[in-house]
Chain A
Amino acid sequence: METLASLGDGFAIALTWQNLMLALLGCFLGTVMGALPGLGPSNGVAILIPLAFTLGLGATPSLILLTSVYYGAMYGGRISSILLNIPGDEPAMMTCLDGHPMARKGLAGEALSLSGIASFVGAFLATWGLIVLAPQLVKIALLFGPAEYFALFALAFMTLGGVSSTNQAKSAFAAALGLGLATIGVDTQTGVPRFTFGEVHLYDGLDFLVAIVGLFALSEVFIFLEHRHGGSDADSRKLKIGKLYPPMSMIKSCTPTMLRTSFLGFLAGVLPGAGASLGSFISYTMEKRLVDKENTFGTGDPRGVAAPEAGNNAAAGGALVPMLALGVPGSGTTAVLLAVLLALNITPGPLLFTQNPDVVWGLVAALFIANFMLLAMNIPMVGLFTRVLMIPSRILMPIVAMVSFVGIYGISGSSFDLLVMIGFGVMGWVLRKLDVPLVPIILGTLLGNAMENNLRRAVTIDNGDWWTLIDSPLSIGLWAIAVIGFILPLIVGARVKAKMHQRRDEEGAISD
């Protein structure tokens, strides 16, 4: 009951004109970002961070804007999957498998609206899951001392490489690069500056927002510059949408699928490091095993559209649980959101629920509102977004570049940060060429300090005894999961990855 009362307060916060407009703007821009091939949820949120800061928004409105973008991108990814057979973002990859065949059969409208409904169901149930699970996780959070936090961070990194990347070694390299970058700045445990070269701008370490915008947004622009002779991705081919409402029988046959995959996707999202790509992938695979009796999956089966969409949207909600309750992000995009929270001087974790209940419950209420807005936008208005797919990159990319520069300068007022951002942009471009995933770099930069500090705190508290790292059942459990999460993909991973990426036509790191 207490939870429902808090949720009521949350709605009171979210239901102001400003917050509603921000949610609407976020949903719209998010869907657009999701629909455009190449721009995934991480990029989408990264590009809009400067906007939230330059508008001078407070913590709750900024979060409402950015999480709406996050949920919106999860919806939008399916549009280009279905119509063009190009996933708008990595989690939408599985939607191509049955979505595009449906479109070829002339059922594009049905596929779009059905996947919209599946997205809604997944996100709606996951938001309830968030409400139920996050406060419980907060209660056990007091069991987390420095040693347990260190194990949890290790878990996040070790499971990261697993399914979501093509090459575990490249993921590990990216994570190590991020951890290395995190050591720049004054070391809090000794007060000694590291790798600052006497440059005062580096004493606080690298600003993650600058790193994120550079790595994701700016590298996107560089990729475009390199390919500019190629013209726009989606030339003005005629997209036939057809009927916009699926028959009741189709929805009915898909309902059990949507419920099952929402649950599964949510669980996948809660696990640190896994994220929405895994959510949509295991949802699709499980449904195929479970209900594909006539071997229709892959040829335009509506259930094959509903499963990954419910799964990836539920995972998006699930990934918010560990971020809010423990301060450890469940996916790449939530890592970006975590950076935003920190920049707003809000520390996620057990205290967030007692110290900033307005932020938490305002955010949860905003998620519900955003979800209904997205449903409304994505079914009757889906035609609008299909037209967005025809915007040539030569118009889009300058906007991205402009928002990045003006925004970052607006946050810090420092030209040094702009140079750092360009540096990260170039680095992001090079790493993409080498097919190194960018998300582990961000996770490393973001969590590296916390991970190192917790390790050193744990050891200092126990007067230098390293066994303290594994002297509680909780830390032993976390290490066990971490080791399994690291080794299992090495054994079964090759097969799983091959399946997951067989339809991957798009280059670049667009993973969630």
Chain B
Amino acid sequence: MKLFGTGGVVAAAVFALTGFAANAAECIAPANPGGGWDFTCRQVGKSLQDLGLIDQTMQVVNLAGGGGGVAFAEVVNKRNDDNELIVAASAATATRLAQGAYPGNTMDQVRWLAAIGADYGVIAVAADSPINTLPELLDQIKADPSSVSVAGGSAVGGWDHLKVLIAANAYGIDDVRSVKYIAFDGGGEAVTQLLAGSVQAFTGDISEAKGFVDSGDIKVIAVLAPERLPGEFADFPTAKEQGVDAIGANWRGFYAPGGMSDEAYNDWVSKIAQLYASDEWKEVMAANGLAPLDLQGEDFQNFVADSVAQIQAISKEIGIIK
């Protein structure tokens, strides 16, 4: 009967953990525990509580599936007027919305709240590569596209791919379809293949590249930020200062249901703005490799709309969408 007893305890624990607290603010992480969206929900929930901006623990619900599409559809269809709900989002959400990868959903069905930071894109090569600057790499692609394989952690048409295309486009490579992009399962695997010599360049986020820069395995030839980043990232040249006007930020932030009242919307915007301005959040950003991206409310809404339009334009060019 010992086993039965154990089963009972297990069941009790399971029910206790899945039980809901009434009336508490809720954050949907549209992925399984452990990923970036989950981090966004949990870290913001914790910091909001630590700062006294919310009085109850934020309830984090993981609603994985469809690259965030399941959660998006749930919010639009079933919880459209919930004032106590926010949902974690990132550049990947905007990319998928732009490409119609959430069937039947568009970005204006929800209200975009605020960003909490960004992970800027980098383009890197192996430490022993003869290439040292972004124009050198792009010249080589221009001359013979088949000689350069660029590896990234996202699918074709995903954010890592688009970043390198944005840079190529800005440099005057008109047929961006000729850029040879190889999709790997995550930035780490892509860097490994860069080190193994299977590919010649890497496109990814700064947080993915940092460890390999520290160990001296790769060199970052461009960071896709408007200006040089603070602190330990200050050595990386921006694409802009090399004459390539390309910016690619994998931002993190939140959206809220489309039917949220103005009062509740403004309340959330102000709470996240206060959080963003706090010293505690600056520490969290530093610890997790997040760079500044200070956008709330109306500004953030416009920022998302602009990036959706940009991604749509490039995706049409490479034939992901028609």
Which residues of chain A are near B15, meaning CB under 8 Å? 406
Which residues of chain B are near A410, meaning CB under 8 Å? 14, 17-18
A51–B14 CA distance with the chains assembled, in angstroms:
8
Is residue B158 within 8 Å, beta carbon to beta carbon, of the partner chain? yes
- Contact for B17 among A55, A142, A203, A416, CB less than 8 A: A55
Is residue B32 within 8 Å, beta carbon to beta carbon, of the partner chain? yes
A55–B198 CA distance with the chains assembled, in angstroms:
41
- Closest residue of B by beta carbon distance from A188: B155
Decide: A142 and B196 in contact? CB cutoff 8 A.
yes
Decide: B11 and A347 in contact? CB cutoff 8 A.
no
Is residue B185 within 8 Å, beta carbon to beta carbon, of the partner chain? yes
Decide: A412 and B156 in contact? CB cutoff 8 A.
no
Decide: B67 and A203 in contact? CB cutoff 8 A.
yes
- Closest residue of A by beta carbon distance from B102: A200
Which residue of B4, B69, B149, B196 has the most chain A CB atoms within 10 A of its CB atom? B196
Decide: B63 and A414 in contact? CB cutoff 8 A.
yes
Decide: B34 and A413 in contact? CB cutoff 8 A.
no
Decide: A186 and B64 in contact? CB cutoff 8 A.
no
Decide: A457 and B184 in contact? CB cutoff 8 A.
yes
Is residue B3 within 8 Å, beta carbon to beta carbon, of the partner chain? yes
The interface bits of chain B over 81-111 (1 if a CB of A lies within 8 angstroms of the residue's CB, else 0) are 0000000000000000001011100000000
Which residues of chain B are near A202, meaning CB under 8 Å? 66
Decide: A463 and B6 in contact? CB cutoff 8 A.
no
Decide: A391 and B4 in contact? CB cutoff 8 A.
yes
Is residue B257 within 8 Å, beta carbon to beta carbon, of the partner chain? no
User: Looking at chain B, what size class is its interface with the partner chain?
Assistant: 35 or more
A457–B4 CA distance with the chains assembled, in angstroms:
50
Decide: A350 and B192 in contact? CB cutoff 8 A.
yes
Which residues of chain B are near A25, meaning CB under 8 Å? 6
Which residue of B61, B65, B102, B183 has the most chain A CB atoms within 10 A of its CB atom? B65
B22-62 with Cβ < 8 A to chain A = 32-35, 61-62
Is residue A70 within 8 Å, beta carbon to beta carbon, of the partner chain? no
- Closest residue of A by beta carbon distance from B17: A54
Decide: B185 and A453 in contact? CB cutoff 8 A.
yes
The interface bits of chain B over 64-80 (1 if a CB of A lies within 8 angstroms of the residue's CB, else 0) are 11110110010000000
Decide: A406 and B11 in contact? CB cutoff 8 A.
yes
Decide: B67 and A204 in contact? CB cutoff 8 A.
yes
Which residues of chain A are near B146, meaning CB under 8 Å? 463
Decide: A189 and B69 in contact? CB cutoff 8 A.
no
Is residue B313 within 8 Å, beta carbon to beta carbon, of the partner chain? no
> Nearest-CB distance from A55 to chain B (Å)?
7
Decide: A191 and B158 in contact? CB cutoff 8 A.
yes
A207–B65 CA distance with the chains assembled, in angstroms:
9
Which residues of chain A are near B101, meaning CB under 8 Å? 186, 193, 203
Decide: A54 and B4 in contact? CB cutoff 8 A.
no
- Closest residue of A by beta carbon distance from B63: A413
B154-190 with Cβ < 8 A to chain A = 154-158, 180, 182-186, 188-189
- Closest residue of B by beta carbon distance from A395: B4
- Closest residue of B by beta carbon distance from A402: B11
- Contact for A406 among B18, B102, B320, CB less than 8 A: B18
Which residues of chain A are near B183, meaning CB under 8 Å? 188-189, 453, 457
Is residue A239 within 8 Å, beta carbon to beta carbon, of the partner chain? no
A354–B217 CA distance with the chains assembled, in angstroms:
13
Count residues of A near B (Cβ-Cβ below 8 Å).
Answer: 66
Which residues of chain B are near A403, meaning CB under 8 Å? 7, 10-11, 14
Which residues of chain B are near A204, meaning CB under 8 Å? 64-67
- Closest residue of B by beta carbon distance from A193: B101
A482–B7 CA distance with the chains assembled, in angstroms:
43
Decide: B149 and A460 in contact? CB cutoff 8 A.
yes
A346–B32 CA distance with the chains assembled, in angstroms:
12
Decide: B3 and A391 in contact? CB cutoff 8 A.
yes
> Nearest-CB distance from A429 to chain B (Å)?
22
Which residues of chain B are near A191, meaning CB under 8 Å? 99, 155-158, 320
A358-401 with Cβ < 8 A to chain B = 384, 387-388, 391, 395-396, 399
Which residues of chain A are near B180, meaning CB under 8 Å? 460-461
> Nearest-CB distance from A124 to chain B (Å)?
27
A403–B13 CA distance with the chains assembled, in angstroms:
11
Decide: B155 and A189 in contact? CB cutoff 8 A.
yes
Decide: A411 and B156 in contact? CB cutoff 8 A.
no
> Nearest-CB distance from B100 to chain A (Å)?
10
Which residues of chain A are near B215, meaning CB under 8 Å? 354
Which residues of chain A are near B156, meaning CB under 8 Å? 188-191
Known: A191-B158, A345-B35, A406-B11. A396 touches B17 (CB 8 A): no
> Nearest-CB distance from A445 to chain B (Å)?
15
> Nearest-CB distance from B275 to chain A (Å)?
23
- Contact for B65 among A402, A414, A461, CB less than 8 A: A414
The interface bits of chain A over 394-437 (1 if a CB of B lies within 8 angstroms of the residue's CB, else 0) are 01100100110011011111101100000000000000000000
- Contact for B3 among A203, A347, A396, A407, CB less than 8 A: A396
Known: A54-B17, A191-B157, A198-B103. A347 touches B10 (CB 8 A): no
Which residues of chain A are near B198, meaning CB under 8 Å? 145-146, 457, 461
Is residue B195 within 8 Å, beta carbon to beta carbon, of the partner chain? yes
A55–B14 CA distance with the chains assembled, in angstroms:
7
Is residue B137 within 8 Å, beta carbon to beta carbon, of the partner chain? no
- Contact for A200 among B73, B149, B188, B195, CB less than 8 A: B73
A198–B69 CA distance with the chains assembled, in angstroms:
11
> Nearest-CB distance from B164 to chain A (Å)?
15
A355–B157 CA distance with the chains assembled, in angstroms:
27
Decide: B66 and A143 in contact? CB cutoff 8 A.
no
A32–B10 CA distance with the chains assembled, in angstroms:
15
Is residue B116 within 8 Å, beta carbon to beta carbon, of the partner chain? no
A438-452 with Cβ < 8 A to chain B = 449-450
The interface bits of chain A over 324-345 (1 if a CB of B lies within 8 angstroms of the residue's CB, else 0) are 0000000000000000000111
Which residues of chain B are near A354, meaning CB under 8 Å? 211, 215
Decide: B199 and A203 in contact? CB cutoff 8 A.
no
Is residue B307 within 8 Å, beta carbon to beta carbon, of the partner chain? no
> Nearest-CB distance from B320 to chain A (Å)?
5
Is residue B133 within 8 Å, beta carbon to beta carbon, of the partner chain? no
A144–B62 CA distance with the chains assembled, in angstroms:
35
Known: A54-B14, A413-B63, A460-B180. A200 touches B103 (CB 8 A): yes
- Contact for B66 among A203, A343, A384, CB less than 8 A: A203
Decide: B10 and A51 in contact? CB cutoff 8 A.
yes
Is residue A201 within 8 Å, beta carbon to beta carbon, of the partner chain? yes
Is residue A133 within 8 Å, beta carbon to beta carbon, of the partner chain? no
Using CB atoms and an 8 Å cutoff, list the residues of chain B in contact with chain A: 1-4, 6-7, 10-11, 13-15, 17-18, 32-35, 61-67, 69-70, 73, 99, 101-103, 146, 149, 154-158, 180, 182-186, 188-189, 191-193, 195-199, 211, 215, 320
Q: Which 5 A-B pairs have the closest CB atoms?
A: A191-B157, A188-B155, A200-B66, A345-B34, A200-B69
The contact sample of 8 A-B pairs, CB cut-off 8 A, is: A25-B6, A32-B3, A143-B196, A145-B198, A191-B157, A414-B70, A457-B183, A461-B182
> 6 new A-B pairs (CB below 8 Å) besides A186-B155, A203-B65?
A146-B193, A188-B183, A349-B189, A395-B4, A410-B14, A461-B199
Using CB atoms and an 8 Å cutoff, list the residues of chain A in contact with chain B: 25, 28-29, 32, 51, 53-56, 59, 141-146, 186-191, 193, 198, 200-204, 207, 343-347, 349-351, 354-355, 384, 387-388, 391, 395-396, 399, 402-403, 406-407, 409-414, 416-417, 449-450, 453, 457, 460-461, 463
